[in-house]
Chain A
C-alpha cells in the first residue's frame, strides 16, 4: 500500500560546487492536489524539480515519489511521471505531429498523436516544423508530450512563461481538467496569478529555502490588512491618530502624502470604525480611502525582499 503523499521532500539540499542552490527544504504534495512552488529566478525551483524527476541524486535529505527514490529507482517511477522541463530541447527539423509520434513510441500505452494535439490545442499546427513555432506553442507541445503516457504525477517547470494571456488561460484549463481527473501536479511559476488560480497549496521559495507554505488563504492570513487614504490638507502628519493599535505610516503617492495603516489580523472592521468616527468628528473628507486584505503579492514581495542568506 502506498502512502497518500505523491511527493515527499525532507530536508533536501543541493549544491553546485560551493554554491548551495537548495538549502534544506521539506514539503509534501498529496495525491490529486496541485502544489505550486513560487519564487523568483534563481530561487532553486528547477533544481528541486529536477531532483524529484530523478535527473540527479539528492545532495542531502531525501526525496520520494510514490515512495520511491526517483534517482535510484528511475525505471519504476518514470513511467508514472509526466515531465515538462523549463526549456524545450525538441528537434527543430521535425514537425509537431512527427515529434508526438516519435515520442509516443517511447512510452508504453501512450495516447494517440491526434488526441494529444487536441488536448493542447495544436491540431492545426500538426504539420509545422518545430523551429517555426512560437514560444507559447512550443510550451504547449511540451505539455502534450508530458501527457502522452497519462502520468499520475505531472511536473511542470514554468509551464506558461512566455505565453500570451489567451494561451496561458488555455493551459490553465487543461491543467485544471487534469487535476479534476485525479492527476497530481507540482508546478513552478513566478506568476502569482497562476499559483493563486490553480494551486491547492503553495510554497514560496527564496534563496533555496521555503519561506512560507500552505493554502493561499493560510499564506495570506497572518499578513494583516491595510487601510490607506490621502492625508487631508487640514491635518498635519503629526496629528494622524492611531487606529486599531497601529500608528500611521506616511507614503508619498502621486505627489500626495498618503496615510497607510497596517492593521493586525481581524482588526480591519474595528479600525475602520474608529477611522470613520474620527473623520466625522473633524468633518474631514478622506480622498482615496482604501481598505484591503493582504494579497499573495504582498506576501510574495515581502518574502523576496528578505535578506539573502
Chain B
C-alpha cells in the first residue's frame, strides 16, 4: 500500500462525507448527543469511579461501532451496489489503497471524536486526562483494524444499502450489551463474564478504561492502580483477544467481501 494514494482516497471520502448531510450528522452529532447524556450522571459512583466517567470511557470504545463498523458496512455496501467500488478499482489504485483510504478516514474521524470526548470528560465532567495515552492510542488503532475487517466481511453478506443497518445490528447490540459499555458486568455469573470478555469490543473497553483511569479494569471487583508497564501487562489478554478477532475479521473479509454486485 502506498500511503499517499490511500490518503488521497481518504480525501475523496471526506469530500463525499461533506456532501452527505446524514453521514456528517452521525459523525459529528452522535458524539455531542452521547456527551450530553453523560451530564446527569455527574456525582454518582459506579465501579469505583465517577459514573459519568465510567460511562464516558465506555462511549470512547463504543463510538468505534458507529464511526468505523456500521459506517464502513454502509459505505462499502452502497459503493459496491452503485458500482463505484468497481470504478475505483478500474484506475491505478491498488485494492488495499482503495479500502485503506476509507478506513483511514473512518478511523481518523473516530480518533477526532475520541479527542473531543476526552476533552469534554476532562473539563465539563471534571475528570482527568488519560493516565496512559500510548496504551489508549494503540488500543484504539487495534480496535479500528479489527472492526474495519469485520465491516468488510459483513458488507459482503449485506445485499444492499438498505439492509446495512439490519446486518450490522447483531454485532452492534451484542457489543453494547455485553462489553460492559454502560454497566459493569461484575454482578453476572462467571461463565457469562467469560463469554462477554470474548466479544470483539470487550478488549477495547478494558484497554480504554485501564488507560484512562490508570486502574486495572481488566479484572472484576476492585481495580488496583497500575503504572505504565503494569497497565500494558494487564491488557495483554485483551490484546490477544483482539488478535483473534483480527484473524476472524481477516478470514470473514477474505471469504465474503465482494467488489461487485451479484449478477441478476
| A residues apposed to B, CB below 8 Å | 16, 53, 55, 74-75, 78-79, 83, 85, 87-91, 93-94, 98, 102-103, 105-108, 145, 149
Contacts of B90 in A (CB 8 A): 53, 55, 83, 85
Verify A87–B83 contact, CB threshold 8 A.
yes
Fill in one digit per residue for B8-51: 1 if any A CB lies within 8 Å of its CB, else 0. 11011001100110000000000000000000000000000000
Verify A102–B12 contact, CB threshold 8 A.
yes
Contacts of B9 in A (CB 8 A): 106
Verify A103–B91 contact, CB threshold 8 A.
yes
B interface majority secondary structure: helix
Q: How far is the CB of A14 from chain B (nearest CB, A)?
A: 13
Verify B20–A93 contact, CB threshold 8 A.
yes
Verify B92–A106 contact, CB threshold 8 A.
yes
How far, in angstroms, from A93 to B263 measured CA to CA in the complex?
26
Verify B92–A85 contact, CB threshold 8 A.
no
Contacts of B20 in A (CB 8 A): 93
Verify B94–A75 contact, CB threshold 8 A.
yes
A interface majority secondary structure: loop
Query: Knowing A105-B8, A107-B92, A149-B92 touch, does A94 contact B87 (C-beta < 8 A)?
Result: no
How far, in angstroms, from A55 to B91 measured CA to CA in the complex?
11
Among A91, A98, A149, the residue within 8 A (CB) of B84 is: A91
Q: What are the nearest 3 A-B pairs in CB distance?
A: A89-B87, A89-B83, A93-B19
Tally of contact residues, B, Cβ under 8 A: 23
List the A residue with the shortest CB-CB distance to B85.
A89
Verify A106–B8 contact, CB threshold 8 A.
yes
21 contacts between A and B (CB under 8 A): A55-B89, A78-B92, A79-B92, A85-B83, A85-B90, A88-B83, A88-B87, A89-B83, A89-B86, A90-B84, A90-B87, A91-B16, A102-B12, A102-B15, A105-B8, A105-B11, A106-B5, A106-B9, A106-B88, A108-B92, A149-B92
Query: Knowing A88-B83, A89-B86, A91-B84 touch, does A106 contact B11 (C-beta < 8 A)?
Result: no
Verify A16–B263 contact, CB threshold 8 A.
yes
How far, in angstroms, from A98 to B14 measured CA to CA in the complex?
12
Whether B162 sits at the interface, judged by CB under 8 Å, is no
Whether B186 sits at the interface, judged by CB under 8 Å, is no
List the A residue with the shortest CB-CB distance to B95.
A74
Chain A CB within 10 A, most for which of B12, B85, B92: B92
Q: How far is the CB of A303 from chain B (nearest CB, A)?
A: 25
Verify A107–B83 contact, CB threshold 8 A.
no
Verify B91–A107 contact, CB threshold 8 A.
yes
Q: How far is the CB of B205 from chain A (nearest CB, A)?
A: 36
How far, in angstroms, from A79 to B94 measured CA to CA in the complex?
11
Query: Knowing A75-B94, A105-B8 touch, does A85 contact B86 (C-beta < 8 A)?
Result: yes
Contacts of A89 in B (CB 8 A): 82-88
| B residues apposed to A, CB below 8 Å | 5, 8-9, 11-12, 15-16, 19-20, 82-94, 263
How far, in angstroms, from A83 to B87 measured CA to CA in the complex?
9
Contacts of A55 in B (CB 8 A): 86, 89-90
Contacts of B87 in A (CB 8 A): 85, 88-90
How far, in angstroms, from A50 to B147 measured CA to CA in the complex?
31
Contacts of B85 in A (CB 8 A): 89
Verify A106–B84 contact, CB threshold 8 A.
no
Verify B15–A98 contact, CB threshold 8 A.
yes
How far, in angstroms, from A87 to B86 measured CA to CA in the complex?
10
How far, in angstroms, from A108 to B97 measured CA to CA in the complex?
14
Q: How far is the CB of B250 from chain A (nearest CB, A)?
A: 21
Chain A CB within 10 A, most for which of B16, B83, B90, B94: B90
Given contacts A16-B263, A90-B87, A91-B16, 14 further A-B contacts (CB under 8 A): A55-B90, A75-B94, A78-B92, A85-B86, A88-B83, A88-B87, A89-B84, A89-B85, A89-B88, A93-B16, A105-B5, A106-B9, A107-B91, A108-B92
How far, in angstroms, from A282 to B8 measured CA to CA in the complex?
81
How far, in angstroms, from A93 to B12 measured CA to CA in the complex?
12
How far, in angstroms, from A102 to B87 measured CA to CA in the complex?
13
Contacts of B19 in A (CB 8 A): 93-94
How far, in angstroms, from A72 to B9 measured CA to CA in the complex?
23
Contacts of A79 in B (CB 8 A): 92
Contacts of A91 in B (CB 8 A): 16, 84
Q: How far is the CB of B76 from chain A (nearest CB, A)?
A: 14
How far, in angstroms, from A87 to B20 measured CA to CA in the complex?
23
Q: How far is the CB of B77 from chain A (nearest CB, A)?
A: 14
List the A residue with the shortest CB-CB distance to B98.
A106
How far, in angstroms, from A55 to B87 measured CA to CA in the complex?
11
